[in-house]
A and B are shown apart, each in its own frame.
Chain A
Amino acid sequence: MSTEATTDLEKHSSPGRGGPPPDPSATGHLAGLAGARQAVRRIGFYVFCCLLLAFFALPLLWLACAPFDRTPTITASLPDFTLQNFDTLFDNPYAMRSLGNSLLLAAGTGVLVVVFAALAAYALSRVRLPGRDALLYTLLLLSSIVTGTAAMVPLFNLAFELHLIDSQLGVILVLTGGLLPSAIFILKDFMDGTPRSYEESAQVFGASPLQIVRHVVVPLVRPGLATIAVWSVAQVWGNFLIPFLLLRSPEKSPAAVVMYTFYTEGGQPDLALISTFSLLYSLPVVLMFLLVSSRYGFRFHGGIKR
Chain B
Amino acid sequence: MPTTSPPDAGLAPRGAGGQAGAAPRPARDRDAAGLGRPRAAAFVTPALLLIAAFLVFPALWTIYLGLTDYRLTGLAAADPQMVGLDNFTDALKDDSFSHSLGLTLQFVVGSAVIGQAGLGFLIAWVMRNRRGALRRLVEALVLTAWILPSSVIAFLWIALLDRDDGTLNAALHTPGTAWLLEHPMLSIIVFNIWRGTAFSMMLYAAALGNVPPSHLETARLAGASGWQQLRDVVFPRIRGHILTNLLLISLWTFNDFTPFLLTSGGPEDKTEVMPVFIYKLALSNGELGFGAAISVLMLLINLVIAVVYMTLLRRRKEDAPA
A residues neighboring B (CB under 8 Å): 2-3, 5-7, 9-10, 12-14, 16-17, 21, 45, 48-49, 52-53, 55-63, 73-76, 112, 116-117, 119-120, 122-124, 126-129, 137, 139-158, 173-174, 176-178, 180-181, 184-187, 189-190, 192-193, 196-197, 199-200, 202-203, 209-210, 212-213, 216-217, 223-224, 227, 234, 237-238, 240-241, 245, 255-257, 259-260, 262-264, 274, 278, 281-282, 285-286, 289, 296, 298-304, 306
Number of CB contacts from chain A to chain B under 8 A? 358
- Of B31, B143, B219, which contacts A127 at CB under 8 A? B31
- Of A56, A129, A152, which contacts B142 at CB under 8 A? A56
Report how far A124 CA is from B2 CA in the complex, Å: 40
Q: Do A256 and B151 touch (CB < 8 A)?
A: yes
Instruction: Say yes or no: A176-B29 contact (C-beta < 8 A), given A53-B141, A74-B159, A116-B46.
Output: no
Annotate B8-36 by CB proximity to A: 1 below 8 A, 0 otherwise. Answer: 00111111111100100101111111111
New contact pairs (10) apart from A126-B33, A154-B295, A158-B54, CB-CB < 8 Å: A49-B126, A128-B31, A141-B303, A144-B309, A147-B302, A150-B275, A151-B62, A154-B61, A157-B65, A177-B53
Nearest B residue (CB) for A288 = B147
- Chain B: minimal CB distance from A29 (Å): 17
14 contacting pairs across A/B (C-beta < 8 A): A2-B232, A74-B162, A76-B159, A124-B40, A142-B51, A145-B303, A199-B33, A209-B33, A240-B257, A245-B283, A256-B150, A278-B152, A300-B12, A300-B199
Within 8 A of A (CB), among B170-190: 170-171
Instruction: Say yes or no: A181-B218 contact (C-beta < 8 A), given A150-B255, A190-B17.
Output: no
Report how far A52 CA is from B147 CA in the complex, Å: 18
- Chain B: minimal CB distance from A304 (Å): 7
With a 10 A CB-CB cut-off, give which of A10, A137, A196 has the most chain B CB atoms. A10
Q: Do A285 and B149 touch (CB < 8 A)?
A: yes
Q: Do B167 and A62 touch (CB < 8 A)?
A: yes
Within 8 A of A (CB), among B31-55: 31-37, 39-41, 43-44, 46-48, 50-51, 53-55
Report how far A160 CA is from B34 CA in the complex, Å: 43
Report how far A213 CA is from B275 CA in the complex, Å: 43
- Of A156, A180, A241, A282, which contacts B51 at CB under 8 A? A180
- Of A128, A153, A180, A256, which contacts B295 at CB under 8 A? A153
- Of B58, B138, B233, B261, which contacts A151 at CB under 8 A? B58
Which residues of chain B come closer than 8 Å to A256, judged between CB atoms?
149-151
Instruction: Say yes or no: A185-B15 contact (C-beta < 8 A), given A56-B142, A56-B194, A209-B35.
Output: yes
- Of B43, B303, B309, which contacts A120 at CB under 8 A? B43
Q: Do A240 and B288 touch (CB < 8 A)?
A: no
- Of B17, B218, B282, B292, which contacts A13 at CB under 8 A? B218
Q: Do B37 and A127 touch (CB < 8 A)?
A: yes
Annotate B260-296 by CB proximity to A: 1 below 8 A, 0 otherwise. Answer: 0100100000000011001100110000100110010
Q: Do B29 and A126 touch (CB < 8 A)?
A: yes
Q: Do B41 and A289 touch (CB < 8 A)?
A: no
Within 8 A of A (CB), among B112-149: 122-123, 126, 134, 137-138, 141-145, 147-149
Which residues of chain B come closer than 8 Å to A126, judged between CB atoms?
29-33, 35, 40
Which residues of chain B come closer than 8 Å to A63, judged between CB atoms?
152, 156
- Of B25, B134, B295, which contacts A152 at CB under 8 A? B295
Which residues of chain B come closer than 8 Å to A5, judged between CB atoms?
232
Q: Do B299 and A149 touch (CB < 8 A)?
A: no
- Chain A: minimal CB distance from B216 (Å): 9
Which residues of chain B come closer than 8 Å to A240, judged between CB atoms?
149-151, 257-258, 261
Q: Do A146 and B55 touch (CB < 8 A)?
A: yes
Q: Do B137 and A53 touch (CB < 8 A)?
A: yes
B residues neighboring A (CB under 8 Å): 1-2, 10-19, 22, 25, 27-37, 39-41, 43-44, 46-48, 50-51, 53-59, 61-62, 65, 122-123, 126, 134, 137-138, 141-145, 147-160, 162, 164-168, 170-171, 194, 199, 202-203, 214-215, 217-219, 221-222, 232-233, 236, 248, 251-252, 255-258, 261, 264, 274-275, 278-279, 282-283, 288, 291-292, 295, 298-299, 302-303, 306-307, 309-310
Instruction: Say yes or no: A181-B37 contact (C-beta < 8 A), given A203-B32, A306-B252.
Output: no
Which residues of chain A come closer than 8 Å to B31, judged between CB atoms?
126-128
- By Cβ-Cβ distance, the 6 closest A-B pairs, closest first, are A177-B54, A302-B15, A189-B17, A186-B15, A196-B32, A123-B43
Nearest B residue (CB) for A217 = B33
Nearest A residue (CB) for B305 = A144
Q: Do A299 and B152 touch (CB < 8 A)?
A: no
Report how far A142 CA is from B14 CA in the complex, Å: 18
- Chain B: minimal CB distance from A145 (Å): 4
Instruction: Say yes or no: A177-B51 contact (C-beta < 8 A), given A53-B137, A126-B29, A152-B278.
Output: yes
Q: Do A58 and B160 touch (CB < 8 A)?
A: yes
- Chain B: minimal CB distance from A146 (Å): 5
Q: Do A190 and B155 touch (CB < 8 A)?
A: no
